Amino acid sequence: MIVPATPDSIRSAAEQLRSGAVVAIPTETVYGLACAIDAPEAIRRVFELKGRPSDNPLIVHVASLEQALTLADVADHDIVRRLGSALWPGPLTIVVRRSGLVSDAVTAGLDTVALRMPDHPVTREIILQAGVPLAAPSANLSGRPSPTRAEHVEADLRGAVMVVDAGPCTYGLESTVVRVLGTQVVILRQGALSAATIESALGTMSVRAASASDEVHRSPGTRHRHYAPNVPVVLCDSPEQIGATIEAHPSERMLVLCSADAIAALPGVPTRELSASSLFDEFRRAEALQVDRIVVLCDDNVRTDAALLNRLQRAAETSHAS
Ligand code: TXA
Ligand code: MG
């Protein structure tokens, strides 16, 4: 059931979470499927509702730096303080060694926990009123695009939980997941916060993408099948290549996604504007329209956005377009 975010529904969501229920909540990145971290049965239900592999840990959402510190091992408090005070609230998830307050059920048995303070007044109020940190993966079925609107959650979970609706998510892509190794911030999952933004906020620390030798530190979730709409996705480098793809499949209904700048280069082609914040919504729209193929123009606007490019490449890889 979708309920608009109001003082009453926020209070009700917080009460339900406190008493061990699962509730879908808005954040600035994507909608999350939330439960209290001290409610083992609710945590189990989150995995079950999503069909999430049991080896994929959950992100824990907090309302303050102090609350985050209670969940981190003392040895990592400096890291949480340093990154958290520079970049929270916001779409940054920090992986640190966990304290005794975080259970194996949340971390899938890892000795680390992923922490995030969302930058959304409704999320913040729900966490505050619940009085407990909230574990919340994205509120999609496992393997589906993350939900950026309440309706997406309702469609995937078919009314199984209350969805607090605060409208479309501002970022529309998931948070950036990082781990500090020595003096370096290693990006385990590209996301809404760019490496450049993280680097400029942190000054002396350098930021780099996880490399093959960091394999053990990779976010488990990035190994799983992800972000694939039911419709094949094809990436093209130029308007000419899009034209050729359309010509090669004359009987197909296609949806072309391209940046606002490129629409003029594709006269007569049915296009939708592509942006990081609208990508998952467009994927779901294409499914609803039952088009045969999604064709995406990956021009410089796209190639310079690491998170957007990453999600597009994953969708194209797993969609087996011919
Ligand atoms: O923006 C977001 O991050 C959204 C909103 C709801 O906050 N949440 C989200 O959660 O995207 P989820 O579960 O879909 O993705 C969490 C990612 C997964 O790739 C998971 O493997 C990784 O974070 N992760 C969680 N705990 C981890 C840990 N201890 N070490 C490494 N990666 C971890
Ligand atoms: Mg997810």
Considering 173, 195, 210, which residue would you say is the last residue of a domain? 173
Q: State the residue range of the domain holding 139.
A: 2-173
Decide if 292 is inside a domain: yes
Decide if 214 is inside a domain: no
Strands (E), the chain: 2-4, 23-25, 32-36, 59-61, 92-97, 112-116, 134-135, 162-165, 176-181, 184-189, 206-209, 233-236, 254-258, 271-273, 293-297
For the chain, the domain total comes to 2
Decide: 232 and 294 in contact? Cβ < 8 Å: yes
Q: What is the CA radius of gyration of the chain?
A: 20
Is 307 found in the same domain as 166?
Answer: no
For residue range 36-55, list pLDDT tens digits in order.
999 999 999 999 999 999 99
Is 36 found in the same domain as 145?
Answer: yes
Task: Ligand 1, residue 31: give the atom nearest the CA.
Answer: 6
Confidence of residue 226 (pLDDT cuts 50, 70, 90): low
Q: What is the pLDDT of residue 6?
A: 98
Q: How far, CA to CA in Å, does 30 sit from each of 137, 234, 277? A: 9, 24, 10
Kindly state the average pLDDT of the residues 251-267.
Answer: 88
Task: Ligand 1, residue 116: give the atom nearest the CA.
Answer: 7
Confidence of residue 259 (pLDDT cuts 50, 70, 90): confident
For residue range 189-225, list pLDDT tens digits in order.
999 999 999 999 998 889 999 987 776 556 676 666 5
Decide if 182 is inside a domain: no
Decide if 221 is inside a domain: no
CATH of the domain at 240: 3.40.50.11030
Decide if 206 is inside a domain: no
Query: Is the pLDDT score of 1 beyond 80?
Result: yes
Is 7 found in the same domain as 153?
Answer: yes
Is 131 found in the same domain as 249?
Answer: no
Is 248 found in the same domain as 114?
Answer: no
Considering 173, 201, 216, which residue would you say is the last residue of a domain? 173
User: Is 107 touching ligand 1 by the criterion CB < 6 Å?
Assistant: yes
Considering 173, 196, 211, which residue would you say is the last residue of a domain? 173
Q: What is the pLDDT of residue 2?
A: 98
For residue range 74-91, list pLDDT tens digits in order.
999 999 999 999 999 999
User: Is 221 touching ligand 1 by the criterion CB < 6 Å?
Assistant: yes
The residue whose CA has the least distance to atom 32 of ligand 1 is 219
Residue 136: which residues within 8 A CB-CB, separation 6 or more? 25, 27, 32, 33, 34, 35, 46, 58, 59, 61
Is 6 found in the same domain as 136?
Answer: yes
Query: 42 C-alpha vs ligand 1 centroid, how far in Å?
Result: 17
Decide if 237 is inside a domain: yes
Is 277 found in the same domain as 131?
Answer: no
Mean pLDDT taken over the chain? 93
Decide if 193 is inside a domain: no
Query: Is the pLDDT score of 150 beyond 70?
Result: yes
Query: 33 C-alpha vs ligand 2 centroid, how far in Å?
Result: 10
Q: What is the pLDDT of residue 257?
A: 96
